[in-house]
Structure formats: structure tokens, C-alpha cells
Amino acid sequence: MASIQTIFQYPSSSTTTTLFTSSLSIFSIPTLPSYISVKSTFTCFSSSSSSLSSSSITDRAEIRLGLPSKGRMASETLELLKDCQLSVRQVNPRQYVAEIPQLSNLEVWFQRPKDIVRKLLSGDLDLGIMGLDTLSEFGQGDEDLILVHDALDYGDCHLSIAIPKYGIFENINSLSELAQMPQWTKEKPLRVATSFNYLGPKFMKEKGFEHVTFSTADGALEAAPAMGIADAIVDLVSSGTTLRENNLKEIEGGIILESQAVLVASKKSLIQREGVLDTTHEILERLEAHLRAAGNCKYEGR
């Protein structure tokens, strides 16, 4: 769990504002290597920055928070917010918009996690919760994405390379051994199936793979090697059970990214949109209070 002590300094005039100084865990994605989850220090910045044009933010008055719309991440996000006394009230379960009564002027929008990232970048959302893997894959280092909290304590998984346990891979147990296999040539490169078409190729390039190609695939990636359409896969791994059941294995050095749920904000929104900073502060305080309490209970064996 991140240790965040955030100091908010409010404006003494209408011309400039120091937004915040934090002891940790608020940083823009470019400071984060694509395959490593690290904690960093965010330094304060000013609303008078000439690099951020007010015209890039729409004229809407409400603050928008994007939440995952389906699956386990969605249910666990709602449960976390409920535990933080921020229950989401949705009049119609078929609607994509809801509210959190404790936060005035806030709209909750249920979206696919990758769309939350895209809409943070477009200015259609101000805040969002998604996995760090999704943020890193679809954010691709954009400086407008600010990681407000990097450890919400659910959605744990990691992005990893997996290869068959059999055949030419039987005695291959590390990334370096995989790279050094003589089978990979310009004419016959290592074939990797993945839905992570940014993080996967970037990682392999940084690790020195010269002869490798990627194919796009969504779902049932574990079947690709057995079907003969890929030599390896890059996919999210939680327990590893699915890999084992499909005769696949992870290898040393093959973890690309450790991931869990994170809270993200648009830098432009924090600077330019009225109320976003206060709302972010409120959410952050409630998250930290709950996570500290939950951590203490685990430590005390309750």
C-alpha cells in the first residue's frame, strides 16, 4: 500500500496555484519504465504553466470519474468505494452514468478500462480507476496522465511472457535463454501472440530480441502455441492456473509489469477544472484512511 501524505496549497490570488506536493505516489507515467512498477515523488506544479492551454478542457461544469463497467474489477471497485463511504448510486443498472452522493458535482461514468484511459486523455473524464497494466498499455507514457494512487490493494496480477513446457522450449527457463535460441532468425522469428501491442513489443525490444513478431489476439491466448499460430504469449497472469492447465510456463526475467488497481487523473483537469483538485483530495483521503485501517487489521490478524 502506498504511503501518501499530500499537502494541498490553495491559491492566494487568481493567477497562480501550487497544486500539491506529495511524499509519494503521484507521478506522470513517463517516469515509470514500461515494465517496472515503481513508486516515485511528484513535485509541485503551477496553474500558470504555459504548456497547458485552457482550450483543451471542455466547458462542462461537472466532474467526471470513470469506473470499470464489467467484471471482477468493476465489482471490487464499487466495494472499495463503499468501504470508503463513497457508495455509488445508480438509478438504472443499464445506465452508464451514476453518482456518489457524498461528492457534490461528481458524475460516475461506467466505461471499459481502456476507454477510461482514452477519455482521460481526450478530456472527457477527469479521474479514473483501472489496472496499471491498462494505464500503461493505452496511456503509452502520455504526460497528462497522473498516477494519484498506485496501490488500491485489489486487481493484483502481472503481465508476463509464457512459453510451452514441451518441445524446443522444454529446457528453456529464462528470458535470456529464450533470446539466445538459434531457431529465431529474420526469416523465422519468434512469434508472440498478445493483446498488449504496446508493452509487449517495447519490452522485447528493450531486452534485445532482434527476431520477433507480434500478432494481435484477444482472449484464449493460451491456446495459440498449441494451435501452432504462436511460439509464446504475452498476457496477464493472476494465479497461473490457466497457464499450467494449457502446458505453458513463465520464465525468469519474463515479467513485464506488476499491476493492480490505480487511481489516475488528468493533469489538465487538476490544474484547470474547478473542483477537481478538491474532489481528488477527498477521494485520496478516504482511500488512504480505509487502506491504512485494512492494513492494520491484516497485520493484527483480525
Q: What tens digit of pLDDT does each residue of 136-159 get?
A: 999 998 999 999 999 999 999 999
Task: Count CA atoms closer than 13 A to 57's CA, side-chain side.
Answer: 21
Please say whether the beta carbons of 136 and 29 come within 8 A: yes
Total residue length of the chain: 302
* Dist. CA 19–CA 16, nearest whole Å: 9
* Dist. CA 216–CA 233, nearest whole Å: 10
pTM listed for this prediction: 0.80
Please say whether the beta carbons of 250 and 161 come within 8 A: yes
pLDDT-based confidence at residue 44 (cuts at 50, 70, 90): very low
Residues 6+ apart with CB under 8 A from 100: 65, 81, 86, 87, 88, 89, 106, 108
pLDDT-based confidence at residue 48 (cuts at 50, 70, 90): very low
Query: Which domains does the chain carry?
Result: 63-155+260-301 (3.40.190.10), 157-259 (3.40.190.10)
Average pLDDT of 254-269?
Answer: 96
* Dist. CA 163–CA 173, nearest whole Å: 9
